[in-house]
Amino acid sequence: MIIGSVQVREATQPQRDSHYRPTFSKDSPVVLPPRWLSIAQLLDMALQPVVNIHTGRCLGYEALVRGTDAAGFDDIAAFLDACAADGVLMEMEVLLADKAMRKLGGLPHTRDIKLFLNVDGRTLAHVVRFDKALHAVMQANGVGESSVILEISERHQIYATSEGRDAIAALRRMCGKIAVDDFGAGYSGLPLLYFAQPEYIKIDRFFIEDIGGDSRKKLFLSHMVNVAHLLGILVVAEGVETEKEYYICKDIGIDLVQGWLVQRPTLEPERLLPVYPQVQDLAAQDRRTAAGDQKLIAQWIEAIQPLVYGVDMTAVFDRFRQDKTSTFFPVVDEHHEPLGIIRELDLKDYTYSLYGKELMSNKAFGRKLRDFVWKCPVADINTKAETILEVFSAAKDESEGIIIVDDNKYVGFLSARSLLRVISEKNLALARDQNPLTKLPGNNLINEYLGRALAEAEAAYTIAYIDFDNFKPFNDKYGFRQGDRAITLFADIMRSDLPKQDVFIGHVGGDDFFAAFRNFEFADAETRVRAAIERFRLDVESFYDEEARHRGYIVAKNREGAVRQMPLLSASAAIVRIPAGHAPSSIDDISTLIAQLKKEAKQAPEKLASAQVGAA
């Protein structure tokens, strides 16, 4: 059968939903030809949860079309193309939205739940009719505007024309919140992010899959998250299937997750939950989270009472008059989720403009609160203080501070002054445990990190203990100042050559160093350690006099006091692999193993020795 220009197979044994009738009336602008209504009766809507990465609480469910194969289409894209070719795409999307709302309406926990609805870019050519029809369906199903998030499809370049950008603005007026789907794929890039100004971006599965072994994906993802948070946008990771992917997303700063790890799309709404225990458990097991940051941030949050979206502008002006010390107020929706801030400066600019005061007093033509909402950076209270500072620093010329949320709900505002106090207090605490020479974490922080690593059975770690060879003769001959230079040289090499993400480096003391790699392939971690000690061997030669470099040794006393030809400085590394699912171990057990490996490493040609602790 040919529908438009698309080849469609005959449906096999169609089982039509003969009881389904769309909720819109005969007077609705939505009219489907009988053939397409018959096809629609073969379709169903699956729902998949989108949950908070820190708490497992469900923000909402994405509606996904199912049954296109039974209707004779190769895939969903072919189905949508056929709808567009026959001029029924907008009508079909409204009908599918109706099906999704009906299914969601049967849940007992839908009060604060969002429904993510996908909108094909081609539908925006009929945005006025789409607006009218969708609102009719929402009203018939008792679904409020704040409960719907429209996802803009990535398949079509909708922002290229002024009409397309106007249509995106119309979408925002329809429901208040927009998500950019599959960000980073197709046309869902920075231009769409710029024009759509969404509340959410959903990162394409490409950047999530196998991210544990791909440092470039981590780099791309971390920058996308930082840009989004700078613009006040929450980030959803799509297609999260493994615990490893979950933990990396959490470390990078992702706000919400969606994927098989949480729950597969289901046609049975009774299987959907308000909170997902498996995500709660993963977050609870993640003992690497710096609880101290959360306490510091909570201590300095300003609990500014927000304005609720939709309040009359008279109440807004009254609020500023009553609180003359405030130059802005946060704005939240009816679910207490932040939308941005309203600034006194913007109100003054408009009010003092020509006819501004008259327009403001005219309820029919005057601007509303939504017209003055200014996007503001947002951060979860569980975010590391340094990450919050990084986001704020990029926006400091335009931002009053950062809105802090917990479980996607507004909890307060962190001003620039308060943020600097958080960082200052954290730095003071860190300074007490830093090595004074290299400024790297010292013994206490190393032991704390190692303790958390040993307790985190679901993650794999590679730890390296590195110390210098022939350091005492060098120090005796050239003096403590040159010895300190050699120590700081190796510290600088570790800082510059080892990755920042999922790597911890420390200075045990003297010429002993520590490095740990979380969820790295063992061979990758070992290669990086080998490269660091080789670079040190080459660079430290410049600290010797020309004659010693030429000979390849110095004449000095060894540890026993005997005069010997002592080789030039180098470093050895004892490397221990702690696999995921490892058996319980103590720090003392690891220390004993490292001491044994250190002796082997100093005798090995490559100056490396490695071992693995037992799996559970």
- The residue ranking higher by pLDDT, 611 or 423, is 611
Query: pLDDT: is 252 or 489 the higher one?
Result: 489
12 compared with 228, residue with greater pLDDT: 228
Q: Looking at residue 127, what is its pLDDT? A: 87
How much of the chain, in percent, has pLDDT values that exceed 90?
39
DSSP string of 31-66, one letter each residue: ---HHHHHHHTT-EEEEEEEEETTT-BEEEEEEEEE
pLDDT attached to residue 34: 86
pLDDT of residue 100: 94
Name the least confident of 103-107, 463-467, 521-525, 558-562. 558-562
Across 198-221, average pLDDT: 87
**What is the per-residue pLDDT for 370?**
75
pLDDT at 266: 95
pLDDT at 321: 87
**pLDDT grade, residue 346 (50/70/90)?**
confident
Separation CA 85–CA 504 (nearest Å):
56
**Euclidean distance between the first and the last CA atom of the chain, given in angstroms as a whole number:** 58
Higher-confidence residue: 28 or 336?
Answer: 336
Tell me the residue type at 51: V
Residue 462 has pLDDT above 90, yes or no: yes
What local confidence, expressed as pLDDT, does residue 105 receive? Answer: 83
Q: In this structure, are residues 262 and 238 in contact, taking their beta carbons and an 8 Å threshold?
A: no
Provide the pLDDT confidence category of residue 8 given band limits of 50, 70 and 90.
very low
- 351 has a pLDDT exceeding 50: yes
Cα distance between residue 183 and residue 122, in whole Å: 18
pLDDT of residue 186 exceeding 70, the answer is no
Given this model, what pLDDT does residue 533 score?
A: 95
pLDDT > 50? residue 615: yes
Of residues 239, 122, 97, 255, the one with CA closest to residue 187: 122
Question: Which residues have CB under 8 Å from 169's CB, separation 6+?
Answer: none
Least confident window among 6-15, 227-236, 488-497, 509-518: 6-15
Give the CATH architecture of domain 48-285: Alpha-Beta Barrel (3.20)
Q: What is the pLDDT of residue 48?
A: 96
Question: What pLDDT sits at residue 361?
Answer: 58
Q: Could you give the CA distance from residue 608 to residue 593 in angstroms, rounded to a whole number? A: 14
Q: Supply the pLDDT for residue 589.
A: 85
Binning pLDDT at 50, 70 and 90, where does residue 613 land? confident
| Residue 14: per-residue pLDDT | 38
- Kindly tell me the sign of the dihedral angle through the C-alpha atoms of 541, 542, 548, 549: positive
User: Strand 608-612's sheet: what is its strand order?
Assistant: 503-509, 512-518, 461-469, 570-578, 608-612
54: pLDDT strictly greater than 60: yes
Give yes or no for a contact between 231 and 374, defined as CB atoms under 8 angstroms apart. no
pLDDT at 576: 94
Q: What percent of the chain has pLDDT over 70?
A: 87
Structure tokens at 57: 């609480």
> Which of 48-57, 354-363, 373-382, 458-467 shows the lowest per-residue confidence on average (mean pLDDT)?
354-363
174 Cβ neighbours under 8 A, 6+ residues apart = 131, 134, 135, 145, 148, 150
Q: What is the pLDDT of residues 367-414, one digit of tens each?
A: 677 778 888 888 888 877 777 777 777 665 567 788 999 888 899 998
H-state helical runs in 204-361 = 215-230, 243-252, 277-285, 291-300, 313-322, 344-351, 356-361
Please compute the mean of the pLDDT values over residues 458-472 and round it to a whole number: 92
Confidence bin at 365 (pLDDT 50/70/90): very low
The mean-pLDDT minimum among 146-155, 290-299, 362-371, 489-498 falls in: 362-371
Distance CA 348, CA 86 (A): 51
Q: What is the CA radius of gyration of the chain?
A: 30
Instruction: List CB contacts of 479: < 8 A, sequence separation 6 or more.
Output: none
- pLDDT reported for residue 513: 96
Residue pLDDT, tens place only, 407-453: 888 999 988 888 888 888 877 777 777 888 999 999 888 988 888 88
Q: Is the dihedral of CA 542, 546, 551, 553 positive or negative?
A: negative
pTM of the model: 0.66
Residue 201 predicted with pLDDT over 90: yes
- The answer, yes or no, to whether residue 188 has pLDDT greater than 80, is no
Torsional sign, CA 71, 186, 138, 267: positive
Q: Provide the residue ranges of all domains of the chain, joining segments of one domain with +.
A: 48-285, 297-425, 434-612
Q: β-pairing, 570-578 with 461-469?
A: antiparallel
Report the candidate in 337, 419, 416 with the shortest Cα–Cα distance to residue 383.
419
CATH level 2 (architecture), domain 434-612:
2-Layer Sandwich (3.30)
Q: Nearest Cα to 413, choosing from 344, 328, 346, 348?
A: 328
**Would you state the pLDDT for residue 363?**
57
Note the pLDDT of residue 350. Answer: 67
The amino acid occupying position 269 is P
pLDDT 10s digits, 106-165: 777 777 789 999 998 888 888 888 988 999 999 899 888 888 999 987 566 666 677 777
- Encode 344-355: b = buried (16+ Cβ within 10 Å), e = exposed: beebeebeeeee
Q: What angle do CA 160, 166, 172 make, to 5 degrees?
A: 115
Determine which helix (DSSP H) or strand (DSSP E) holds 93, and give its type and residue range. helix 89-105
Give the pLDDT of residue 27. Answer: 45
**Burial of residue 287 (number of CB atoms within 10 Å: 0-12, 13-18, 19+):** exposed
DSSP label at 463? Answer: E
d(C-alpha 242, C-alpha 224), whole Å: 21
CATH of 297-425, one of 3.80.10.10, 3.40.50.300, 3.40.190.10, 3.10.580.10: 3.10.580.10
Please list the residues that pair with 151 across neighbouring strands: 118, 179
> What pLDDT sits at residue 60?
93
Mean pLDDT rounded to a whole number for the chain: 84
User: Is 80 exceeded by the pLDDT of residue 559?
Assistant: no
